[in-house]
Amino acid sequence: KDKLDYRHATDLIKEIKSIAPEFTVGGACYPEIHPESANQKEDIRYLKEKVDCGCEFLTTQMFFDNNLLYNFMYKIREAGITVPIVAGIMPITNANQVERAIKLSGSLMPQRFKSIVDKFGYDPDAMKQAGIAYATDQIIDLFANNITNVHVYSMNKPDVAEKIEANLSAIIGK
């Protein structure tokens, strides 16, 4: 099919489910609101449509403030969206990544993270380690709040994902 036939994710989900209902279909969600949505209420309404069409799990856009995810989770559960949520964590490992990542995702940068970038951004190795530590801390907090499905946006840097895994293994033993 021509990609223009799928104007919205719901169009593609319906097509996949009509061809192969046994396929598991996941979709994207935005704790900080989809860039094309007027507001979060509208965004959640569209998300509910996506799930009602057959989307069986949702992976979040990256976020740097877990409280945004916790508030989002409360609102979507209240709206009747009960599918599993996979939290998308992106370790920022160099200062140049920050501006680009925020521009592309629309994510907000919490003051705590901004302070880390301001302090360590000039030193590539220090920034990499600080970014890994921040992402590890985010994941530990998610686990502590019973969110155990996590996707690390490692941006083709397996060493970053491996370091986060090692950090988590040392702390939680898994």
Q: What pLDDT sits at residue 34?
A: 87
Q: What pLDDT sits at residue 35?
A: 83
Q: Which residue has the tokens 């900080």?
A: 32
Burial of 85 (0-12, 13-18, 19+ CB in 10 A): buried
Q: What pLDDT sits at residue 5?
A: 76
Radius of gyration of the chain (CA): 17
Neighbours of 40 (CB within 10 A): 18
Task: Output the pTM of the full model.
Answer: 0.90
Q: What pLDDT sits at residue 36?
A: 85
Q: What pLDDT sits at residue 39?
A: 93
Report d(CA 9, CA 165) in Å as an integer. 32
Q: What pLDDT sits at residue 2?
A: 55
Q: Show pLDDT as tens, one digit a residue, over the chain (174 residues).
A: 555 578 889 999 999 999 999 999 999 999 998 888 899 999 999 999 999 999 999 999 999 999 999 999 999 999 999 999 999 999 999 988 887 877 777 788 899 999 999 999 999 999 999 999 999 999 999 999 999 999 999 989 999 999 999 999 999 875
Is 57:83 a contact under the CB 8 Å cutoff?
yes
Is 132:164 a contact under the CB 8 Å cutoff?
yes
Report d(CA 7, CA 165) in Å as an integer. 37
- The pair of structure tokens assigned to 48 is 């509910």
Q: What pLDDT sits at residue 58?
A: 98
Which domains occur in the chain, in start order?
3-172 (3.20.20.220)
Report d(CA 46, CA 111) in Å as an integer. 30
